[in-house]
Chains A and B, each alone.
Chain A
Amino acid sequence: MKTKTFPRGIHPPEGKGSTNEKRLEFLSPPEKVVIPLHQHFGNPAEPLVKKGEEVFLGQKIGEATSLFSASVHASVSGKVLSVDGHNHPLGKPVLSVTLANDGEDRMHPEWEETEDPLALEPDQIRKKVKDAGIVGLGGAAFPTSVKITPPKDKPIDTVIINGCECEPILTADYRLMMEYPDEILKGAELVRIATGADRILVGIEDNKKKAFDLLQQKAAPYSADVFLLKTKYPQGAEKNLIYALLGREVPREGLPFDVGVVVQNVGTAKAVWDAAKTGKPLYERALTVSGDGVKEPKNLIVRIGTPFQVVTDSCGGLSKDVNMIIMGGPMMGLSQWALDVPVVKGTSGILAWSSPKPITEFSCIRCGRCIEHCPMGLVPTQLMKYVKYEQLSDAENWGALDCVECGSCQYSCPAKIPLVHWIRLGKSQIMSQKRKKSAK
């Protein structure tokens, strides 16, 4: 069978072998969870509880007060210990609710079962998704309720379910596909109903052939087509995935809406189904704990707010020489300086290893490999130079803002130049210039 793909990209070592065949385990909730009120793209949620209050499992403890936001729910039942700033994986303290777990998982009485969620109206689905605080679980944590509310003038014809998991090492999405295929497909169907699309396309990289076979076998009742994609990074990047499956190019500065597409990660699809079926809010997620520094790599389903330390301890702990902790995948993940940060909705993995001494940086020798591999068609080395010499308008003209920070350029750079870092800097400078201009 012919696999679909996008132009350029890279082939980093996959490193999925140590967890590929390990079933998802439920990690028992810890004695204390720390739940940040800001775990998503957009504005933070407003706290709804005070110190000393008793909460149920799944009770809303943070309310989304604006459109680009997501509610936050208690991931254990118990008592509120504090509502204050706490370290967050994004690197700065965030207002967080700390809960003492009473160990009873008393469910919130307001959870409502739906007999047949597939008969729900689009508005009802959207409301349930919003109430459940669902965000994109691929890593960017974009509020899903926004994503399934396309503007009136942008008709949606296709829902794409992203089962690529193109980041090396991570296997949690693969396990979800293997163990919860029906939930994922039903969730996809709900997204299709909510967006008014005609069809569902599921994209899976060909290193996950088993998941492809399983989903294809189950897809018939759901107007879904499952496609095998070439194993290549970043196959799961939204715009590249849309191009690979449909040959449509999302316009620069545009959204998938503009080409009639909504993309959802497999984990998100499952969360949508759970929320619609049982009323279960998003208080836990699947993630991979792996890397050379983890003694027993695992795929886990972890309650939001569980400290990284608890998660790594449950995987046999870390070897002594570990000097790097990464939240997410090795290509786009965020390095962490301590293990006291909690698992948030965007935590797709916790990786640990011992990193060798960084290699000295050389001057760019214009080998052109960054251009050869950039999935967006940019010239990273040129962008780097424009940012370095503060030629921001040139950087913008050459597409700095189109960079998705996938890291393909830097991965392939023989001079070891931190290209992504330079482009990121340029992007933030361009954006702040724009804000200043519009403020005038």
Chain B
Amino acid sequence: MTEKAFIIQSSPHFQDKDSVPKIMLTVIISLLPAVAASVYFFRLRAIGLYVSCLLACYVTEAIFLWVRKKPFQSLWDGSVMITGLLLAMTLPPTLSLELAVIGSVVAVAIGKQVFGGLGHNIFNPALVGRAFLQTAFPVAMITWLPPATLAVDTATYATPLGNLKFQEAVVQGTLTPIKQLFWGNTGGCIGETSAIALLLGALLLLTKKTIDWRIPAGILLALTAFTGIFWLAGPDRYASPAFHILAGGLLIGAFYMATDMVTSPIHPKGTWIYALGIGIMVGLVRLFGGFAEGMMYSILFMNTFVPLLNRTFRPHILGERRKTS
């Protein structure tokens, strides 16, 4: 035979340069403006939450990979960092660091690794961690602080949505102004307050097509329609859709959490159902539920439908039905 043997591989022999770590890196970069905003508004408390969440997530992931005898590559693909960042961003600034660590362990262990690691989880890991904290430590999870930039002389502070729900802010005329929500100079989970920072990152995700535009579009559409109807019927009792979009975790959820590729549908039809479902449910919870905010539970709830949606909808196979020209 000839002196040199060549590589044998199955076609195709060309591959696009994009890869899972690159996608994850894009998401991380897109989160940076909001991370910066949270540090600006909540200072050391924000930094503490980020450090403890990231450390705890990485350690948990590493332990699980070691126990499951899996390669350590998923430590470097960026997915753990996203989970850690997103979890920290959705925690209140008052939360003690031990609880942040507990939430992180649950997020990675129960949210991701028990399903088999990256790509196999049903629920968004960060939200699983957050939901656990909300259930186990309900008081700690709704104790808020005003941002460091706001000169208010109170130990605790209500979020714009809490204010709306429990203090009849519309009737009292104390609703947080849209401008404040837009810049993020208000109370809330550390990463959710600044709409402008979140939208900046979202722009990157949308232009690089890292996320499916249908998901935020569907959520915003459904929420606008739902809250819009009530607002038009009774502007003296209900907040406007613009308020609902900018307040609370709506934007961070719609652009960064509901869009998690692993836990959202793959077919456009399924994606629309999923996104509209989230939007309507958020509206329902905010207007009629017991909680001030419904984003987390709405996403988790619709996550459960994803396997079903993926099995129900599939594209039209070429030649499936006959066309005549």
Contact check, B73 vs A360: say whether CB atoms are below 8 A apart.
yes
**Interface 9-mer from A105-113, A224-232, A319-327:** A319-327
Most buried by A among B22, B73, B325: B325
B118 close to A (CB within 8 Å): yes
Contact check, A240 vs B325: say whether CB atoms are below 8 A apart.
no
Q: Which chain A residues lie closer than 8 Å to B321 at the CB level?
A: 249
A338's partner among B2, B12, B310, B316 (CB-CB below 8 A) is: B2
Interface residues of A, count at CB 8 A: 69
Alpha-carbon separation in the docked complex, A368 to B210 (Å):
11
Contact check, A239 vs B318: say whether CB atoms are below 8 A apart.
yes
Contact check, A410 vs B119: say whether CB atoms are below 8 A apart.
no
B319 close to A (CB within 8 Å): yes
Query: How distant is B65 from chain A, measured CB to nearest CB, in Å?
Result: 13
A410's partner among B12, B73, B262, B325 (CB-CB below 8 A) is: B12
Query: How distant is B17 from chain A, measured CB to nearest CB, in Å?
Result: 9
Q: Which chain B residues lie closer than 8 Å to A389 at the CB level?
A: none
Q: Which chain A residues lie closer than 8 Å to B9 at the CB level?
A: 324, 335, 358
* Known pairs A366-B261, A414-B23; A374 contacts B16 (CB<8 A): no
B153 close to A (CB within 8 Å): no
Q: Which chain B residues lie closer than 8 Å to A63 at the CB level?
A: none
Q: Which of B1-59 contact A (CB under 8 A)?
A: 1-2, 4-16, 18-20, 22-23
B319's partner among A249, A309, A340, A359 (CB-CB below 8 A) is: A249
Q: Which chain B residues lie closer than 8 Å to A240 at the CB level?
A: 318
Alpha-carbon separation in the docked complex, A243 to B320 (Å):
13
Alpha-carbon separation in the docked complex, A378 to B118 (Å):
24
Q: Which of A259-318 contact B (CB under 8 A)?
A: 309
Contact check, B319 vs A168: say whether CB atoms are below 8 A apart.
no
- The dominant DSSP class at the A interface is loop
B6's partner among A243, A325, A358, A379 (CB-CB below 8 A) is: A325
A407 close to B (CB within 8 Å): yes
A151 close to B (CB within 8 Å): no
B266 close to A (CB within 8 Å): yes
**Interface 9-mer from A40-48, A71-79, A418-426:** A418-426
Q: Which of A36-65 contact B (CB under 8 A)?
A: none
Contact check, A414 vs B317: say whether CB atoms are below 8 A apart.
no
Query: How distant is A185 from chain B, measured CB to nearest CB, in Å?
Result: 24
Most buried by A among B14, B212, B315, B317: B14
B11's partner among A325, A334, A363 (CB-CB below 8 A) is: A334
* Known pairs A324-B6, A324-B7; A376 contacts B317 (CB<8 A): yes
**Interface 9-mer from A24-32, A121-129, A189-197, A397-405:** A397-405
Cβ-Cβ contact count across A and B, 8 Å cutoff: 167
Alpha-carbon separation in the docked complex, A412 to B17 (Å):
8
Contact check, A414 vs B19: say whether CB atoms are below 8 A apart.
yes
Query: How distant is A251 from chain B, measured CB to nearest CB, in Å?
Result: 5
B314's partner among A10, A336, A363, A398 (CB-CB below 8 A) is: A398
B10's partner among A248, A371, A416, A420 (CB-CB below 8 A) is: A420
A381 close to B (CB within 8 Å): yes
A155 close to B (CB within 8 Å): no
Contact check, B23 vs A367: say whether CB atoms are below 8 A apart.
yes
Contact check, B14 vs A331: say whether CB atoms are below 8 A apart.
yes
Contact check, A379 vs B266: say whether CB atoms are below 8 A apart.
yes
A392 close to B (CB within 8 Å): no
B310's partner among A323, A332, A339, A382 (CB-CB below 8 A) is: A382
Query: How distant is B123 from chain A, measured CB to nearest CB, in Å?
Result: 13
By beta carbon, the residue of chain A nearest B24 is A365
Contact check, B14 vs A168: say whether CB atoms are below 8 A apart.
yes
B117's partner among A248, A251, A336, A363 (CB-CB below 8 A) is: A363
Q: Which chain A residues lie closer than 8 Å to B325 at the CB level?
A: 246-248
By beta carbon, the residue of chain A nearest B323 is A249
Alpha-carbon separation in the docked complex, A242 to B118 (Å):
40
Contact check, B77 vs A367: say whether CB atoms are below 8 A apart.
no
Q: Which of B298-322 contact A (CB under 8 A)?
A: 310, 314-322
Alpha-carbon separation in the docked complex, A13 to B7 (Å):
22
Contact check, B6 vs A336: say whether CB atoms are below 8 A apart.
yes
Q: Which chain B residues lie closer than 8 Å to A254 at the CB level?
A: 319
B237 close to A (CB within 8 Å): no
Q: Which chain A residues lie closer than 8 Å to B13 at the CB level?
A: 324, 326, 330-331, 333, 335, 355
A405's partner among B11, B15, B117, B318 (CB-CB below 8 A) is: B11
Contact check, B319 vs A251: say whether CB atoms are below 8 A apart.
yes
Query: How distant is A360 from chain B, measured CB to nearest CB, in Å?
Result: 6
Query: How distant is A273 from chain B, measured CB to nearest CB, in Å?
Result: 29
**8 A-B pairs with the lowest CB-CB distances in the bound complex, closest first:** A407-B12, A363-B119, A368-B266, A377-B315, A421-B10, A362-B20, A252-B319, A377-B317
> A residues engaging B (CB < 8 A)?
10, 12-13, 168, 239-240, 243, 246-252, 254, 309, 322-326, 330-340, 355, 358-360, 362-368, 371, 374-379, 381-382, 398-399, 402, 405-407, 410-416, 418, 420-421, 424
Sample 18 A-B pairs with CB under 8 A, ordered by A number: A13-B14, A249-B319, A249-B320, A251-B319, A252-B319, A332-B11, A332-B12, A333-B11, A335-B11, A336-B6, A339-B2, A360-B73, A363-B120, A376-B317, A379-B266, A381-B266, A402-B317, A415-B20
> B residues engaging A (CB < 8 A)?
1-2, 4-16, 18-20, 22-23, 73-74, 77, 117-120, 212, 261-262, 264, 266-267, 310, 314-325
